[in-house]
Structure 1
Amino acid sequence: MKSESLTAKAIRRSILTMAATSVAATGMFTSVANAEEEQAQVERIEVTGSRIKRTDMEGSSPITTIDAAAIEKTGEMSVADVLRRSNLNTFGSQSEASGSNWQSQSNISLRGAGADRTLVLLNGKRMPGSPTMGGTAVNLNTIPTAAIERIEVLTDGASAVYGSDAVAGVVNIITKKDYDGFEVSATMTNPEQPGGEEWKTHVVGGISGDKGSMTFSLEHQNREIIYQRDRWFTSSSNILADKYDDTTGVSAYARNFLDMTTFQFSPMAACDNDKMVGGGHIYDYGGGDYICGYDYTSEAANHASRAYTAGYVNADYEISDEIRFIGQGLFTRNETFGRYAPAAGWFNVEAGQIDIQNWDEDGNFLGTSKNANAGRTYYRFTDVGTRDSTTIDYSTDIQVGLEGTHDHFGWDVTYHYNLAENSNYGSGYVHRPTVEALVKSGDFNFGPDGNDASVVAAITHDTLAQDIMEFQSINAGINFEAFELPAGLVGFYFGSEFSDYKYHSRVDSESANGEVIGSSGAGSAGDRDVFAVFGESIIPVTDDLEFNVALRYDKYSDFGSAVTPKVALRYNVIDDVVVRASWGQGFRAPALSDLYAADSFSADLATDYHRCDIDGIAPVDCTADQYDVTRTANPDLEAETSDFYNLGVIWNITDDLSAKAEYYNLKVDNVISFISLDSLLREEAEVGYGNLARGEIIRAGDSPDGRILEATTPLVNGNGFDTSGIDFNVTYGGYETSFGDFGTTFDLTWVLAYNSEEYFDGPVNDKIGRNGLPEYRFTWVIDWSYGDHAASLLTQYIDGQAETVDPDTYAQIGSLSSQTTFDFSYSYTASWNGKFGLGVRNITDQDPVLDSNLAYDDALYNLYGRTFTATYTQKF
């Protein structure tokens, strides 16, 4: 990553170079005054965070730039993977997880504030959120990599300029334009550990002339699946232990019975089956309960496979001296394949319908008998086979517009259309009413031998989920320089936007009715119109002091309106030292799915410390388990509001050495979020069973000491959270030796505080340093070049965290180690415009940081291990 100061410096140098070249070309009698005029007429550029074009990227708001060369050094093949490595993606973000409806989705979460509070732009225009994620965040897997010129990350709030979602910052992906030539490239990877092999090929081309230009790209990427059994830490462990809590990778959804009168678990006779752990191994489940288990890691996958194809084109044409046409189109197809273990779920049985095993408190087998009472079977449908999930996402994005200039006046108008159609096809699921009917009739075989083909065919169900988001907008604005102050002209931009969103989420009727075992979710739909007007001005108060002010008004058709201001300043203390500061308010509108989604089923991980206490298990040894949870939307949600301020210092120490430090503080109120089951459990510990302010926990026997049977977690407006920290950068280049030139860049993000509620309306604590919330992380790059050779060593560090917290005092317990990884890349540019590249990602083959249960945070760490890369690029 480049520091913004060096990027700006490079632009200034190019300006001076062009001016000097112009002087030489016109002969020795050309005056210096003409050179200065040439410099003043250099094309201005639009910098992320402002709609007013300027010649200097170093404005009043902090911007981190990731250019194509920096992307190449990472060895990553997708935008999502590049941004996931950034320090600014502080606590990690969503990646392609196998088996779920979200397995094709990937996003970025600036400042750890959430992907739905990070706005993503493509060439300065808003990208609508993915319908699969309810329109709350952009799926970065829809954006091509080959066409990228650079990525600009604005790290203060920008709702006053761009509207909703720009609470924590903005990621602006800027594509190549005015490209003249043709490029072909191919890359492949070879991981040392099984799975995850990738290959990618792309072409980039373009033509340019006096009147206009056209640039296009086409790329295809493939990534193979990674199974849980292929990593030692995600495969099962200690599966023949006496106690269930001493295992990993084993599910109680095997073949077990819950008596709904005594609320006692017992293994079924059907546990005596080769597909169950140990062919029917029985575990002590605690509290006098015994069960058998199923090793789901033997079938399930960690990361989905991915096949991605994208075509991109942009063009501009000079209609007249004052009017230019601008257009771009992006077309993508993203297909993923994931696998879950065979369907697992509960269904009801009447008394006397199944054979159960009986065990005493000492673990002695007492024989089998018919179930005396009605209850639930927690059953794994191994006869049906694995649940396979294929997603196919299509995305079409088209923008056309006109830009005009006349003297110091300019205007622009753009029409933007985006259609995202995401479909998920699932097989291997089970229809609960059919199972219950066959159980009642006696045709379902609970014995060890399982069911015949006719029964399996009758209960098997294929699922379909389709999410569609159609987005249209018209943007128009004018810019002008109204008057002149002693330090320069005052620039203004005034504009308006009208946007229309249509959202549809559909699932097959059986899934929608909650009749499918092993599936979840229901359909929903909604639409909204948004009208906005906004204005912005850059005011050069003195030669050294500049103000930037902005104000925006948004009106939503379905929930209300918002007014968001922003004020920023940039001050040259001395020639090489710049101080800047910004303050702004922001907002995030409820997503359409937040307001209108139907109730959906989820199997959520949570830790029931109360049950562990009853069973004599210490908090540090209390493990998380999956529970049936119903999530509910809320049509009465209000918008989130935020305050963000930033204070930074940039020091160009020498021509080759620069440093910057930026302090940020973000406060978000009225936070929209699901109350997690963990939060409900923490609240329950404080207020007692049955006294929750929101949501519901149902325990066996309606007893405070019973096992959790199910829960309901609603979507609410919580009180909020705040976070603060420091970004620090040092960049040095130009160290010349006889064996090559060296440079280095160091980027650090240090989170000072992350204060949020322990549960809804509960105590607020600083959670920094907890599991998943590292206090700091840094990236350090060392570059070397010698003639046609170049190499880089990239070091990334993620700080250690506590493993868990005390459920009573919230003190941090246990320690997870830090992680340091190293990536190396080398390239050679041949005389025929060919370029060879070799690299190694994760040189020391580091595994993810694991807790005592061999679990890891897949938002922070990846499991690819040491991976070798090779690339060849040919330019014509």
Structure 2
Amino acid sequence: MNSLTLTAKAVRNSVIAVAASTVAFSGLAFAEEQADGAKVERISVTGSRIKRTDLEGSSPVTTISAADIEKTGEMSVADVLRRSNLNTFGSFAESSGSTWQSQANISLRGAGADRTLVLLNGKRMPGSPTMGGTAVNLNTIPTAAIERIEVLTDGASAVYGSDAVAGVVNIILKKGFEGLEVSATGSNPEQPGGEEWKVSAVGGTTSDKGSLTFSFEHQNREIIYQKDRWFSSSTNTLAEKYSDTTGVSAYARNFLDMTTFQFKPMEACNNDKMVGGGHVYDYGDGDFICGYDYTSEAADHAARQYTAGYVTADYELSDEVRFEGQGLFSRNETFGRYAPAAGWFNVEAGQMDVQNYDEDGNYINTTKNENAGRAYYRFTDVGTRDSTTIDYSTDLQVGLIGEHENFGWDATYHYNLAENSNYGTGYVHRPTVENLVASGDFNFGPSGNSDEVVAAISHDTLAQDIMEFQSLNAGVNFEAFELPGGLVGWYFGTEFTEYKYTSKVDAESAAGEVIGSSGSGSGGEREVFAVFGESILPVTDDLELNVAFRYDKYSDFGSATTPKIALCYQLLEDVVLRASWGQGFRAPSLSDLYAADSFSADSATDYRLCDLQGIEPSKCTSSQYDVTRQANEGLSPETSDFYNLGAIWNITDKLSTKVEYYNLSIDDVITFISLDSLLKEEAKVGYGNLSEGEIVRAGNNPDGKILEATTPLVNGNGFDTSGIDFNLTYSGLETTVGDFGSTFDLTYVLTYEDEEYFDGPVNNMVGRNGLPEYRFTWVVDWSLGDHGASLLTQHITGQAETTDPTTFEKTGSLPSQTTFDFSYHYLASWNGKFAVGVRNITNEDPVLDSNLAYDDSLYNLYGRTYTATYTQRF
């Protein structure tokens, strides 16, 4: 056995003994006989289809074991991965009332969830139809069945195809389980809401010919309302100026005169549901408005009920052929609540009473509206907008695996069906409202509308998203000839994949007639044919070369060719160097190409209007605006280059370290041009001169208020990011009070260079709000007999609060956050296990800006949370 293999195994032995180990194995293992007659295990490593005899290859792989998951006290895959320093800038979490409220994902390197490929047992998981097929919903994957999670942190399109631009997350479920294990877990935050509990069972049996493993779990989590957290509930609601409040919406009971473009409160503002029963704010620029406290009824985190079953089996059909099959079935239901529907509808002159104020904010009188305009109205009579999503996921895989001496083959059929439905109540039908206004039957007075009118204008919404995925792949592996370092391994394969995507909404929502709702239907089909090959060449005893190549042909937009080359070199007895370079691509999703126009209320900061009102940029706050988002059938695929340089040093038998440098460059990025981006471009080129998209201001005046905007999906120029991953692991410190081990993992982002706006200047954005320069995780483990404990420290460095809209310099500062989690377990003599823990021991709030807003991709609002688990093994 060559020294490279020996050193890799030495590194492995020191690293996998503690949390967050850097390497691990996956897939089917089989044996190879050496010259001395000993059996050497050959295993699969994420990022390669060729089985090998050592674990530390030419590409970096980080492993999160089942034990590591237990230490966090988290109950879902998404919550576990969200903690990882590799999830550099955070990722989407469940959000109450959002169309994505049941979804959660991971974004490696801050490159976006749609550029992170997720595998289940080494096979591609299709993207969630709710997210347009662009990213995998991690909430469909059970936690109880997880054996480990392997994270490949360099590009892997040459091996796996589209989406593996920033890396791969391979979730490996249990197999070959013997016996029965049942477990119950509960968590209780100190602050209201968010309580969780979960029950699960894992069982199985094995024989000389095969094995059967199954699992079942059910999880329940309570809703968290905005009013139950001091930072998400409203503040300073009775202030004179609207800009001095938080949690208050101008979508209350206000009238926008479409001749003068001035806001005025309606007489209907005098209602108990409005702030202060009719409090009026100075809105700036001579406007006065009524306000509504949306935090009084809205929720932040959705309630969730999750049920999943998993079964896997393998059977030896002959000495050389094995059958493998698995099925995963899950139901994910969430409940979210928004404040009552708010939106605008048209009003003719003389149809409502409005309140008039002088420039000092003194009430003058109440008159009929002189001109036609828009009523910006909060429909409190209809009640809150409640959203229930029910997501069903079915995943089936069957395959045959054969081997004969140094030749092997495999063939797999994979079927996945995701059916997601969103049921909404409390919405309002705009045409009916406008008809009732025209007929005089709509009551604009403080007392509100009758039950008959409320019933007539109320509308229930329905959105259904379906993705059907089928894949057939086959390949052969063999060893063809010998180099000085050993036999050369080869793998050649082919894959055929079919996607069918359908998105449907109720007819009124599709026509843009529903107040408080958005979205339109779409759909499409795609077929992908791919051929690929890979080889591991042991050039010498100390140098290994890995090459891969893939060609993908798409039925709807074109093809992509992606190569990869990687090296692993034994520099010294205890030092291994590695390097990899590869190209990648991301195909435009079916929703990117074919989705109908969708309507959204996007947040943006209109610095121009603030400047006209004398508000300095640092105090200019964001507001919501009506935005139409447009897909683009002319999109091209994204392309990327990724290279990685790493060093692994086995300092002693107990101490090891790893340093990896990564550099990712993505071209032709598929992205919506945000309204903020359009505003920045407008500031440079002037109103009406945007290269893409559109902003419509009141009176078509460059100084007018924003009425609406259109943001298209385009291929942007791209962005570059680079950084360093550092790991230091120590294990096996034996003392009289127990054994200790420690693992430290750091990701430091050197650059994140992106356009300030579409086709605008490119700057390094590291350190801006939501883009922390570094984050780390530090785990200290202790064990003594049947007792064990861990202290997990997580740190996210501080960031600038805002960016100057002209110079793009960072201004203001947000503090760093450090949280501590503690867990303890005891192994009982009757095969039982008790575990208790505390998450966020010091009860840290999310990092808040001056408007009490926080980045929910980076931080959570649970606060100090107590956990307890009991597990019984039979």
Q: TM-score, normalised by structure 2?
A: 0.97
Which residue, out of 548, 551, 562, partners 1:550?
548
The answer for the alignment partner of 1:664 in structure 2 is 662
Letter in 2 for 1:274: D
1:677-727: CA deviations, max 9, x gaps? 000000000000000000000001110100100000000000000000000
Deviation at 1:485, TM superposition (A): 1.5
Q: 1:12 to 1:639 in 2, by over 3 A?
A: closer
* Cross-structure match for 2:761: 763
Measured in 2, the distance between the counterparts of 1:351 and 1:121 equals 59
> Aligned partners of 1:34, 1:354: CA distance in 2, in Å?
89
Tell me whether 1:693 sits opposite 2:691 in the alignment: yes
Q: Quick one: which amino acid aligns to residue 143 of structure 1?
A: I
Please provide the CA RMSD for this pair.
1.3
- 1:284 matched to 2:282? The reply is yes
- Change in 2 beyond 3 A, CA 1:682/1:11: closer
**Which residue of 1 is the match for residue 368 of structure 2?**
370
CA distance in 2, matches of 1:403, 1:632: 45
- Which residue of structure 1 lines up, in the alignment, with residue 826 of structure 2? 828
**Equivalence map 1:11-90=2 (5 Å):** 37-39=36-38, 41-90=39-88
CA contact (8 A) 1:802 1:812 kept: yes
Matches within 5 A, 1:572-651: 572-651=570-649
In the alignment, residue 605 of structure 2 is paired with which amino acid? T
Of the three residues 855, 860, 863, the one matched with 2:861 is 863
Instruction: Tell me what 1:161 maps to.
Output: 159
**Cα separation, 2, equivalents of 1:82 and 1:689:** 45
Counterpart in the other structure of 2:21 = none
Aligned counterparts of 2:55 and 2:427: Cα–Cα separation in 1 = 54
1:839-871 alpha-carbon deviations (Å, 9 max, x no partner): 000000000000000000000000000000000
Say which SS state the counterpart of residue 579 (structure 2) adopts. Answer: strand
Number of aligned residues: 854
- Of 423, 444, 447, the match for 1:446: 444
Quote how far apart the aligned CAs of 1:101 are. 1.4
Aligned equivalents of 2:142, 2:42: Cα separation in 1? 26
Whether 2:806 is the aligned partner of 1:808: answer yes
| 1:331 counterpart (310, 329, 332) | 329
Is 1:9 the counterpart of 2:21? The answer is no
1:100 Cα deviation after fit: 1.3
Structure-2 separation of matches of 1:169 and 1:113 = 10
Within the alignment, does 1:735 sit opposite 2:739 as a pair?
no
Q: Which runs of 5+ in 1 are unaligned?
A: 14-32
In structure 2, what residue type is equivalent to 1:527?
Answer: E
Aligned to 1:541: 539
Instruction: Give the letter for the 1:607 counterpart.
Output: T
Opposite residue 799 of structure 1, the aligned amino acid is T
Shift of 1:130: 0.1
Match runs of 1:257-406 below 5 Å: 257-406=255-404
Residue 165 and residue 4 in structure 1: after superposition, are their counterparts in 2 closer, same or farther (change >3 A)? Answer: farther
CA displacement at 1:42 relative to structure 2: 2.9
Instruction: Please give the secondary structure, in 1, of the residue aligned with 2:608.
Output: helix
Query: Deviation of residue 38 (structure 1)?
Result: 4.7
Secondary structure at the aligned position of 1:128 is classed as coil
Counterpart amino acid of residue 12 in structure 2:
A
**For residue 396 of structure 2, what is the amino acid of its counterpart?**
I
Indicate whether 1:170 and 2:174 are aligned: no
Q: Structure 2: how far apart are the matches of 1:625 and 1:205?
A: 52
* Equivalent AA in structure 2 for residue 691 of structure 1: N
Displacement of 1:37 after TM fit?
4.0
User: Which of 471, 474, 477 is the aligned partner of 1:473?
Assistant: 471
Q: Hey, what does 2:779 align to over in structure 1?
A: 781
Within the candidate set 477, 493, 497, 2:491 is matched to 493
State whether residues 12 and 56 of structure 1, in contact with CA within 8 Å, keep that contact through their aligned partners in structure 2: no
Displacement after TM superposition at 1:9 (Å): 2.8
For the 8 Å contact 1:6–1:658, the answer to whether it is kept is no
Q: Deviations over 1:600-634 (max 9, x none)?
A: 00000100000000010010000011000000000
Counterparts of 1:55 and 1:545, CA distance in 2: 15
> Does the CA-based 8 Å contact 1:743-1:784 persist in structure 2?
yes
Q: 1:710 aligns with which of 696, 705, 708?
A: 708
Instruction: Name which of 458, 461, 475 aligns with 2:459.
Output: 461
The whole-number CA distance in structure 1 between the counterparts of 2:551 and 2:266 is: 63
C-alpha distance in 2 between matches for 1:653 and 1:312? 42
- State the shift of 1:43 in Å: 3.2
1:508 equivalent in structure 2:
506
Whole-angstrom CA distance in 2 between matches of 1:241 and 1:806:
27
Structure 2 CA distance, aligned partners of 1:257 and 1:514? 21
SS of 1:43's partner is strand
Shift of 1:11: 10
How far the C-alpha of 1:574 sits from its partner, in A, is 1.2
Partner of 2:143: 145
Answer whether contact 1:11 1:56 (CA < 8 A) is retained: no
- Residue identity opposite 1:874 in structure 2: Q
Matched-pair contact (CA < 8 Å) for 1:45–1:55: yes
Query: After TM superposition, where is structure 1 displaced by more than 2 Å over at least 4 residues in a row?
Result: 3-13, 33-39
Aligned to 1:745: 743
Q: Which residue matches 2:25? A: none
Cα separation, 2, equivalents of 1:665 and 1:558 = 31
1:235 to partner: Cα distance:
0.2
Partners of 1:623 and 1:452 in 2: CA distance: 37
Q: Aligned partners of 1:225 and 1:363: how far apart in 2?
A: 40
How many angstroms apart in 2 are the aligned matches of 1:572 and 1:359?
79
Residues 4 and 170 of structure 1: CA distance in aligned 2, closer, same or farther (over 3 Å) = farther
Shift in Å, 1:4: 9.2
Distance 2:16 2:845 in 1: 44
Alpha-carbon distance, 1:12 to partner: 11
Q: Provide the C-alpha distance between the structure 2 equivalents of 1:123 and 1:34, rounded to a whole number of angstroms.
A: 27
Structure 1 contact 566–582 (Cα < 8 Å) conserved: yes
2-structure distance, mates of 1:125, 1:77: 23
Specify the alignment match of 1:16 in structure 2. Answer: none
- Measure, in 1, the Cα distance between the counterparts of 2:491 and 2:857: 39
Q: Which amino acid aligns with 1:239?
A: T
**Quick one: distance in 2 between partners of 1:34 and 1:312?**
35
Distance in 2 separating the partners of 1:8 and 1:102: 40
CA distance in 2, matches of 1:611, 1:819: 34
